[in-house]
Amino acid sequence: MLFATSLAREDRWETLQQPSHPSQTEPHFRSLLAAIDMGWRIEEPVYLRPRWSDAGPRVYHFILRRALLAAPRMLSVPEGPDVDDFVRDESLRLVVGH
């Protein structure tokens, strides 16, 4: 039974990774907002690092946890105006990597 419960949790997490409908908002950012709405919380710091190389586009790496003893999850969101504003508005501690 524990295995089935664990699989159900994994399925819910995977569902968060899929956009529910088209939008102007970046799908990964929508997934972050949906996770927060479902009770996940962001563990600081948030990391902002290049995606593939130092010259490439950057992505935010959010560490999310739903319960104190639950395994954390990482959600990566490409840098953009919506997520930039979110990080700033929420006063999240940010570590910028090179």
Q: What is the pLDDT of residue 70?
A: 81
Alpha helices in 53-92 (DSSP H): 81-89
Alpha helices in the chain (DSSP H): 2-16, 27-37, 81-89
Q: How far is CA 10 from CA 38, 65, 70, in A?
A: 14, 13, 12
Cβ atoms of 21 and 78 within 8 Å: the answer is no
* Cα(65)–Cα(29) distance, integer angstroms: 16
Residue 43's H or E segment, with its range, is: strand 41-50
Q: What is the pLDDT of residue 44?
A: 96
Q: Taking each helix axis as running N to C, give the angle between helix 27-37 and helix 2-16, from 0 to 180 degrees, rounded to the nearest 10.
A: 130
Q: pLDDT by residue for the chain (98 residues), tens digit each?
A: 444 445 555 566 666 665 555 556 689 999 999 999 999 999 999 999 987 766 668 999 999 999 877 899 999 999 999 999 999 999 999 999 86
The pTM is what? 0.71
